[in-house]
């Protein structure tokens, strides 16, 4: 995608501070640094979001995330680490090239995510699950 900022980072047309890469993934410092050590793990080949990934891309980002998360833990000794990933504007996505945030966390760091719990009855969970199972299709390639 010619006008995609993360595609330009992957190709080197735009500068970034890289921490890790393999065939399908690139990890680099988030320019926004919500807390020190905040890293983005992105796919190299453009995919708008989670839905667009193939199996190799999904596996590469997951593996890179574990490896980089351990390195963040060892380097910054955060009290916790949040893995954040948004798909679509309504979910808060601002760069429409698939990426995962690895965000070191500290008590009282101001990072807030409202979690409006509903606790529906079991029958409703069964109904939701049946709808999702019906759409699983084949394993991703």
Residues with active-site annotation: 99
User: What's the closest the beta carbon of residue 55 comes to ligand 5GP, in angstroms?
Assistant: 22
Residue 8 vs 73, nearer CB to Zn ion? 8
Pick one of 44, 97, 99, 101: the residue that binds Zn ion (CB under 5 A).
97
Helix (H, G, I), strand (E, B) or coil at 16: coil
String of contacts with ligand 5GP for each residue 6-25, x by CB under 6 A: ----------x---------
The residue among 130, 119, 106 whose CA lies nearest residue 37 is 106
How many helices (H) does the chain have, and how many strands (E)?
Answer: 3, 5
Pick one of 92, 120, 124, 126: the residue that binds ligand 5GP (CB under 6 A).
92
Q: What HEC string does 65-131 produce?
A: HHHHHHHHHHHHCCCEEEEECCCCHHHCCCCCCCEEEEEEECCCCCCCCCCCCCCCCHHHHHHHHHH
Pick one of 95, 124, 129, 140: the residue that binds ligand 5GP (CB under 6 A).
95
Q: Which does 75 bind (CB under 5 to 8 A by kind): Zn ion, ligand 5GP, none?
A: none
* Owner of token pair 């995919």: 47
Binding site for Zn ion (CB under 5 A): 1, 4, 6-7, 46, 97
């Amino acid at each position: 995608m010619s006008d995609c900022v993360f595609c330009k980072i992957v190709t080197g047309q735009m500068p970034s501070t890289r921490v890790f890469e393999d065939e399908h993934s690139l990890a680099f410092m988030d320019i926004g640094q919500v807390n020190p050590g905040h890293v983005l793990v992105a796919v190299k080949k453009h995919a708008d979001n989670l839905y667009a990934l193939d199996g190799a891309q999904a596996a590469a980002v997951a593996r890179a995330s574990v490896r980089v998360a351990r390195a963040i833990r060892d380097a910054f000794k955060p009290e916790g680490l949040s893995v954040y990933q948004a798909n679509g504007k309504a979910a808060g996505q601002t760069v429409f090239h698939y990426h995962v945030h690895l965000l070191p966390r500290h008590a009282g760091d101001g990072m807030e995510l409202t979690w409006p719990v509903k606790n529906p009855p079991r029958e409703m969970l069964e109904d939701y699950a049946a709808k999702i199972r019906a759409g699983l299709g084949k394993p991703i390639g």
